[in-house]
Amino acid sequence: MSEKNSNSHASVRFVEIPADLEGQRIDNFLRTELKGVPKSLIYRILRKGELRVNKKRVKPEYKLQGGDLVRIPPIRVAERAEAPRPSDNLQQLLEASILYEDKDVLVVNKPSGLAVHGGSGVSLGLIEAFRQMRPECRFLELVHRLDRDTSGCIMIAKKRSALKFMHEALQKSRITKIYNALVDGSWSERKRRIDAPLRKNELKSGERVVRVQADGKASLTEYKVLRRFKRMATLVEARPITGRTHQIRVHCQFAGHPIIGDEKYGEDETNRWMKEKGVKRLFLHAAELRIPLPGGGRVVVKAPLEKQLLSAMDALDAQERN
């Protein structure tokens, strides 16, 4: 595939579609290929027939075939600032955080505080960093997402076919996600399932929050107690059966045990006290993924808790003994 130019596309280009992009819609392909070009302009050149596939006009919903020759007309767009590059430290951290990799998929232990993708004031996310670190990879896309402050296992597809396979596996609940969360108070052994519908809401300030509401989307999380710290906190395992935004965080809040360090759904006083013990972030970690592989078989990938969280639990243990 030809090199992308993020600032200007001022001459005719011909792109031969590789086999791993087969099945992608032409409009979605162009949005990736023509970085910085407004969607309205992309649809205009399609509507006017300025873009050709194998010398023929196509509609936006046309699905590409391997070997298709796409003629992209000259397009002028406003100059954009060059994409920020990940620092050497971030690159080293991300390379060291790779938990599993094959020809189809990459699983990374995402650090807390790093957004999975840019946008909304974030110039550089996990996926943008990996695209710059792996320029030889023609295709890198997130399979799913994690909140910015959540750490742990996240999947990146290295082929369009792998992305489609993983999305179908998620829809059919063939992928198991296991999280560790330190929650406020003593979680009951009997509380093994939270089945409560969730709905996104927008506050007057513009902030988006998720709440349990009867008219929300069906949401189910399974829980298991892993470790107790008397009445102060409980380390629980959470398995989201559905995949709603902020699901584990809101279900914990609904159960009366918000996650320690959760500035949106947690208790301010508890968070301040826990910060003194070393919990200076959201204590939610994607600890394990059990995934089927496109080439056959399954793999279990585990991400260890970071030292800061382990030290914080040791500090809680010491508090109990004193």
| CATH classification at residue 270 | 3.30.2350.10
Positions in the chain short of pLDDT 50: 1-8, 79-81
Predicted pLDDT of residue 169:
95
Whether residue 259 sits in one domain with residue 142: yes
Whether residue 103 sits in one domain with residue 58: no
Whether residue 139 sits in one domain with residue 38: no
Whether residue 110 sits in one domain with residue 49: no
Tokens of 136: 């030889």
Give the list of residues 6+ apart from residue 101 with CB closer than 8 angstroms, or none: 107
Contact 184, 228 (CB under 8 A): no
User: Which residues does residue 72 pair with via DSSP β-bridges, in sequence order?
Assistant: 13
Please report, for residues 4, 18, 67, 176, the alpha-carbon distance to residue 1 in angstroms, rounded to integers and kept in the order given.
9, 7, 11, 35
Whether residue 135 sits in one domain with residue 49: no
With respect to residue 43, please indicate whether it lies within any of the assigned structural domains. yes
Predicted pLDDT of residue 284:
98
With respect to residue 83, please indicate whether it lies within any of the assigned structural domains. no
With respect to residue 48, please indicate whether it lies within any of the assigned structural domains. yes
Would you mind telling me the total number of residues written for the chain in this entry? 322
What are the b/e assignments for 117-156, b being 16+ CB within 10 Å? ebeeeeebbbbbbbbeeeeeeebbbbbbbbbbbbbbbbbb
Predicted pLDDT of residue 75:
81
With respect to residue 204, please indicate whether it lies within any of the assigned structural domains. yes
With respect to residue 223, please indicate whether it lies within any of the assigned structural domains. yes
Find the CATH number of the domain harbouring 31.
Answer: 3.10.290.10
Contact 199, 210 (CB under 8 A): yes
Residue 126, classed as helix, strand or coil, is helix
Predicted pLDDT of residue 322:
57
Contact 254, 197 (CB under 8 A): no
Pairing of strands 151-157, 141-142: antiparallel
- Write out the residue range of the structural domain in which residue 66 sits: 13-72
C-alpha dihedral, 73 to 77 to 80 to 86, nearest 10°: -20
Cα distance between residue 210 and residue 32, in whole Å: 31
Predicted pLDDT of residue 245:
92
**Which residues form the catalytic set?**
147
Predicted pLDDT of residue 47:
92
Domain tally, the chain: 2
Whether residue 256 sits in one domain with residue 201: yes
Whether residue 238 sits in one domain with residue 114: yes
Whether residue 248 sits in one domain with residue 115: yes
With respect to residue 5, please indicate whether it lies within any of the assigned structural domains. no
With respect to residue 82, please indicate whether it lies within any of the assigned structural domains. no
Please report, for residues 43, 48, 69, 183, the alpha-carbon distance to residue 37 in angstroms, rounded to integers and kept in the order given.
11, 16, 21, 45
Whether residue 111 sits in one domain with residue 242: yes
Cα distance between residue 240 and residue 252, in whole Å: 12
Predicted pLDDT of residue 151:
97
Whether residue 68 sits in one domain with residue 92: no
Whether residue 147 sits in one domain with residue 54: no
Tokens of 92: 């080293």
DSSP-assigned letters across all residues of 297-315: SEEEEE-PPPHHHHHHHHH
With respect to residue 78, please indicate whether it lies within any of the assigned structural domains. no
Q: Is pTM, for the whole model, over 0.85?
A: no
Whether residue 128 sits in one domain with residue 62: no
